[in-house]
Structure 1
Amino acid sequence: MAGREELSRSFGAVADVYESGRPEYPSEAVAWLLEPVRSEGRVLRVADAGAGTGKLTRAAVEFGAQVVAVDPDPAMLAQLREQVHGVPTFAGSAESLPLPDASLDALLYGQAWHWAEPVAASAEAGRVLRSRGVLGLVWNIRDEREPWVRRLGEVMTPSSAERMLAAGDPPVAAPFTSVEHARWTWRRPMRRDDLFALARSRSTLITAPDDERARVEEGLAALFDQIGAVGDDAVELPYVTHAYRAARP
């Protein structure tokens, strides 16, 4: 299996597939992440770190925030610029953000904090956030209480994010001392091509050898036949969105 660094930097090879396969974030979750700083009634300064193709970026823009996007992969940022116009983009990582000290009201990570080294990334978040600014982390996780969704996860194998959240809350270090958690359940209509795009956007499949990729795709095709995801017929994929927020002292 590929190492952590290779997995975390693999998405640019399939940036268009990532954009089509990955879900958006519920507006309620984004509102909750920004709630502590939105109450001040001014334009928020927000960074989306590990922004990928801009799924969380566009949600923050819709809330009227002044947003910048940061990602280590230029291919992902190029896809973001096609999807979200007018948002400045910067190359950078959670441990080294190209942003000034105390310049943000909120620093958001969508489907990304599990790739960060939490001690260094927390310290860097503390540097770029103003006092009482918010570090916000959010993940869309498939709801495996439904048997076919559990089978989907078994065929694809668990992701780094799924393994981390199964063990408890995401690790956050100084200067943050307490983390709040909220969750939302919802469903996303998915056609067969959408389900394949979701699977093909995962780092473990992107980096897998050809024979392993073929084995997984055969298993997926069989499962999609069983659940009726054939042609343009859609199924509803249930999700649980987990959001975490911590205020900078």
Structure 2
Amino acid sequence: MDQGERALHSSSFGAAAVAYAEHRPNYAQAAVQWALEHAPGPRVLDLGAGTGKLTATLVALGAEVIAVEPDPAMLTELRRSLPAARALSGSAEAIPLPDASVDAVVAGNAMHWFDMAVAGPEISRVLTPGGILAGLWNVMDDQVEWVAGLARISGSAAIGPRDTPTSWRAETADMHLPRAGVAARFGSAEQEVFPHGQRRTADSLVSTIATRAGVLVMPEQQQEATLGRIRAFLASRPETARGEFTLPMLTGVLRARRL
């Protein structure tokens, strides 16, 4: 994805901020704990915080959280849902915090939108020595047969290159720190995955998929066709045709320590 396409996709969420807050999953608590286990202190920056899905888990774990989000509509929804959280307008490329002011920087389903050539030095600047940088991604567990079928029928725009465990590992293994030319600022990156799930109905799962960037930027006719195809698939499966079910997921974590 080139820089212009990345900018288009990353700016698509604001129009769907309320739906994003309602339908996107939170993050496995064990994954968040693993991301932060070596942080030298409790101060955590949630970067590209969106509507606060990861922020809420951090607050529940007792972290001293600052949320930073560039999109005004997403930031408004975050402040509405988490009024006690400190939430600032800013971006990964221009973080509105002093040098060495946080012990960890985390990003929930957001790091792939960062221009790490610029954001890498910014993240390094605000981290204390020994601080942790961690990206978290929720992915569908395609080891489950019907989930693999959903991924096939949805197409790559709806279920993208980081949305299943195998592709997530490959896509994130070296896409951030090494390619950004800032690897010298951080130690070796580690990857781990943690079981997760989200209670959904067929309708609410379609609504969740409709908040993905690849769907949001589709022409209306293509979007309707894609979501219609997904609805038909879910209606055809005994696991998803009636009532609530658990969507099998994993939370993947990529973490590195600032040197």
* TM exceeding 0.5: yes
Q: Deviations over 1:84-143 (max 9, x none)?
A: 121122222211111111000111101000111223222111000011111111111101
Structure 1 residue aligned with 2:29, among 27, 30, 41?
27
- Residue 111 of structure 1: aligned partner: 109
- Residue 200 of structure 2: aligned partner: 190
Whole-angstrom CA distance in 2 between matches of 1:93 and 1:202: 20
- Residue 214 of structure 1: aligned partner: 224
Q: Is the counterpart of residue 161 in structure 1 residue 166 in structure 2?
A: no
Q: Which moved more, 1:154-163 or 1:10-19?
A: 154-163
Number of equivalenced pairs: 244
Whole-angstrom CA distance in 2 between matches of 1:12 and 1:3: 16
TM-score w.r.t. length of structure 2: 0.88
- 8 Å CA contact retained: 1:20, 1:194: no
Letter in 1 for 2:192: A
Q: Which moved more, 1:24-33 or 1:170-179?
A: 170-179
* Cα distance, 1:146 vs structure 2: 2.0
Structure 2 residue aligned with 1:204, among 192, 207, 214?
214
TM-score w.r.t. length of structure 1: 0.91
Alignment of 1:94-105 (within 5 A): 94-105=92-103
Gaps of 5+ in 1: none
- 8 Å CA contact retained: 1:159, 1:204: yes
- Residue 9 of structure 1: aligned partner: 11
- Residue 129 of structure 2: aligned partner: 131
- Residue 72 of structure 1: aligned partner: 70
Structure 1 residue aligned with 2:245, among 227, 231, 235?
235
- Residue 39 of structure 2: aligned partner: 37
Letter in 1 for 2:135: L
Secondary structure of the corresponding residue to residue 162 of structure 2: helix
- Residue 171 of structure 1: aligned partner: 176
* Cα distance, 1:156 vs structure 2: 4.3
Whole-angstrom CA distance in 2 between matches of 1:164 and 1:83: 29
Whole-angstrom CA distance in 2 between matches of 1:165 and 1:209: 30
- 8 Å CA contact retained: 2:161, 2:171: no
Letter in 1 for 2:194: W
- 8 Å CA contact retained: 1:107, 1:135: yes
* Cα distance, 1:60 vs structure 2: 0.9
Q: Deviations over 1:25-81 (max 9, x none)?
A: 11111111111126x6xxx11110010010110111112111111111010011111
* Cα distance, 1:199 vs structure 2: 0.9
Secondary structure of the corresponding residue to residue 161 of structure 1: coil
Q: RMSD of the TM alignment (CA)?
A: 1.9
Q: Which moved more, 1:85-94 or 1:213-222?
A: 85-94
- Residue 236 of structure 2: aligned partner: 226
Secondary structure of the corresponding residue to residue 7 of structure 1: helix
Secondary structure of the corresponding residue to residue 135 of structure 2: strand
Q: Which moved more, 1:209-218 or 1:181-190?
A: 181-190
- 8 Å CA contact retained: 2:203, 2:231: no
Percent of residue pairs bearing the same amino acid type: 36
- Residue 119 of structure 2: aligned partner: 121
